Every structure is written in C-alpha cells, then in structure tokens.
C-alpha cells in the first residue's frame, strides 16, 4: 500500500474514504496509485451505518461452524492434489461398505483411502517433531500406503498369504490410487475381504512395534486375518447373524437439510462396555466421532442410553444443534 505523503492531514480511517455510500475518488487519488484505487473501488461500501464485525467467508450467514471449516479444509486438500495425483479419481465406496468384514475394519479401510491414518508424514505435517521415515524399516517416508503395502518388513506377508500379492506390481503414490489400479484388475469380493483384514493386521503389527516395541511374526498376522474373515462369515451365516441381517435391511438414511444425525452404539465384553457415536451431516459426511470404555455390568438398554448420552454431550460441546438421535433400539428424537 502507498504510504501517506509527509505532512498530509488525510483521513485516518477507512470510513473517511467514502461519502454518500460511495468511495470518494478525489480523496483516493490524493493517497493511492491507480492500481490501488481500482482494488479499493472493487470493495462494496456498506449500506447500513453499523460497527464492523467478524464474518466467516465460507458460510452464507457469515457465522463460523465446524462443518464449514471441515468442508473448506477438505476442498483445499483436494484442490492441491488434483493437479499432481490420480488420488482424486472417484472411489467406489461400496467396495468397503458392502464388504463382509467387521465394522471396525470398514472404518479402518475408509481412513486408509481418505489418507486419515496417523502415519509419520502426517504427524510431521501437523507440526510434530518426528522422524518421517517408516519406523519398521527406516528406509523411506511413511505415508499411508508405505507401511501397509510397500515396506520391506511386510512384503512377505502379502506374498505368503493366500492372495500371493506383489504390491509393487501396481505402481502408485497414494493408497487410493493403488486401490483403484487393483480394482481395475481384481473384482472378486472375497479377495478384497481378505485384503482388508490383512491390511488391518499389518497396521496392528506396525502399531505394536511403534508403541510396545513388540515384533509380531508374519505367520501370526496372516493367521489372525484369515480367522477374522472366516469367523465373521460364520457369524453372519448362523443364527447369531440374524441381528446383522436385520440391520442391513434398514439402510441408513441421511438427515433432512439443516439437521445432523447422531448414531450411537454399545458393545459388551466380560465386565467392560465400549460405547461410541458418530455424527453425520445432510451429505452423509462424518463431522464428529466419539468412543470410550466403561467398566461394570450394565443392562443393554442402559448401555444404549449411556452411549447416546455421552455421544450427545460430545456433539453439543462441539457446537452442533438440531440433532436426530438414532440407536439400535430405534429410539429417535429431535433436539
């Protein structure tokens, strides 16, 4: 910006530069260059005589919301990758959500494709002081794809598994790009069920080394992945799977415009109870998640109520209102 001329008694505030709801061109010409005047005149003069206030550019009403900030960051990230990567090629999410694998592995697969795992390169990008090399081999930068697909410490798992997979045969820079390339060659649903369970086992192997310095064997990882696939199929095929089949018949639906849907659930194991919730907007995008563990013996209905209450508190503390609550017991309400 051009500096004010020495000895000038010109205006001190921006409001002094307009007159009768228009920019005062004679005053502007005394203070600024023509290029600066053109830029200033492109700014609309306020119609009402009100005090200045903060306004969020990414919503129609100018009010900040977590959803708008989330969407803005996602759009920015997508825009940066669009010119240099095939990662933005449309991904068929049905490959994950319709897979015959446990829900926790579906969520893991979704995080992989969305580059949402807490790998070293991601932590470094967030400002943490970490070594971005793969903690298992120390040879290359750890992004989402490397520790699961390309690390030398896990390559034998893919080769010796029933998939007999050479992950490096499908060249790709990012996980989504790699999956799209393989989907173009392999369509068998059972193959992908095994793939995701193996990927989940490899991620657990990586975390076991990072946090506990415990090395899990390749045989153990493969064995547990195959057992996971078989056991989940058996449960769904038996009488115990009737609950899952009943859930599948009632497909999840997005909430109406302006509303958010909060789904909560509970799981029991011996004297522990796991609770969790997930909040989605009208587009079906996840905006808030919650999970926790409680100890004690609880009735199922009580557990569902506790999960709903804790998830609701988390959502409201994050600033969300107009919520639809939905649980497995089909008790819905609007706040």
Instruction: Enumerate domains of the chain plus CATH numbers.
Output: 8-52 (no CATH), 87-248 (no CATH), 253-334 (3.30.420.10)
Lowest pLDDT segment from 13-22, 264-273, 318-327: 13-22
Q: Which of 95, 200, 109, 102 is nearest to 157 (CA)?
A: 200
Query: Residue 47's pLDDT is what?
Result: 64
**Mean pLDDT over the full length of the chain:** 83
Residue with tokens 């990586």: 206
Beta strands in the chain (DSSP E): 18-19, 22-23, 260-269, 272-280, 286-295, 323-326, 333-334
Is the predicted pLDDT of residue 286 greater than 70, yes or no?
A: yes
Query: Residue 157's pLDDT is what?
Result: 95
C-beta of residue 23 within 8 angstroms of C-beta of residue 17: yes
**pLDDT (mean) for 238-250:** 50
Residue with tokens 């319709």: 98
Beta strands in 175-309 (DSSP E): 260-269, 272-280, 286-295
Q: How confident is the model at residue 86 (pLDDT cuts 50, 70, 90)?
A: very low
DSSP letter assigned to residue 254:
P
The overall pTM is greater than 0.75 = no
């Amino acid at each position: 910006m051009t500096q004010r001329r020495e000895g000038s008694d010109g205006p001190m505030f921006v409001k002094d530069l307009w007159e009768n709801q228009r920019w005062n061109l004679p005053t502007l010409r005394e203070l600024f260059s023509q290029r600066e005047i053109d830029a200033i005149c492109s700014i609309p003069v306020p119609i009402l005589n009100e005090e200045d206030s903060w306004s969020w550019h990414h919503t129609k009403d100018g009010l900040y919301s977590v959803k708008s900030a989330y969407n803005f960051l996602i759009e920015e990230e997508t825009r940066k990758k669009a010119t240099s990567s095939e990662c933005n090629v449309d991904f068929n999410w049905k490959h994950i959500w319709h897979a015959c694998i446990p829900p926790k592995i579906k969520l893991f697969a979704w995080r992989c494709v969305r580059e949402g795992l807490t790998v070293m390169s991601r932590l470094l990008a967030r400002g943490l002081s970490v070594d971005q090399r793969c903690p298992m081999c120390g040879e290359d930068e750890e992004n989402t794809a490397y520790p699961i697909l390309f690390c030398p410490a896990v390559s034998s798992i893919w080769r010796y598994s029933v998939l007999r997979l050479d992950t490096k045969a499908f060249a790709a820079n990012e996980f989504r790009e790699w999956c799209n390339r393989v989907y173009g060659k392999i369509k068998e649903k059972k193959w992908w069920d095994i793939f995701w369970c193996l990927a989940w086992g490899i991620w657990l192997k990586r975390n076991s080394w990072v946090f506990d310095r415990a090395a899990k064997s390749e045989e153990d990882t493969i064995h547990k992945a195959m057992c996971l696939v078989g056991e989940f199929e058996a449960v769904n095929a038996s009488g115990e799977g009737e609950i899952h089949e009943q859930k599948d018949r009632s497909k999840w639906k997005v909430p109406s415009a302006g509303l958010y849907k909060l789904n909560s659930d509970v799981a029991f194991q011996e004297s522990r109870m796991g609770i969790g919730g997930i909040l989605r907007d009208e587009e079906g995008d996840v905006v808030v998640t919650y999970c926790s563990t409680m100890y004690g013996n609880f009735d199922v209905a009580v557990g569902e109520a506790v999960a709903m209450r804790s998830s609701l508190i988390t959502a409201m503390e994050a600033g969300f209102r107009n919520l639809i609550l939905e649980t497995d017991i089909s008790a819905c309400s609007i706040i």
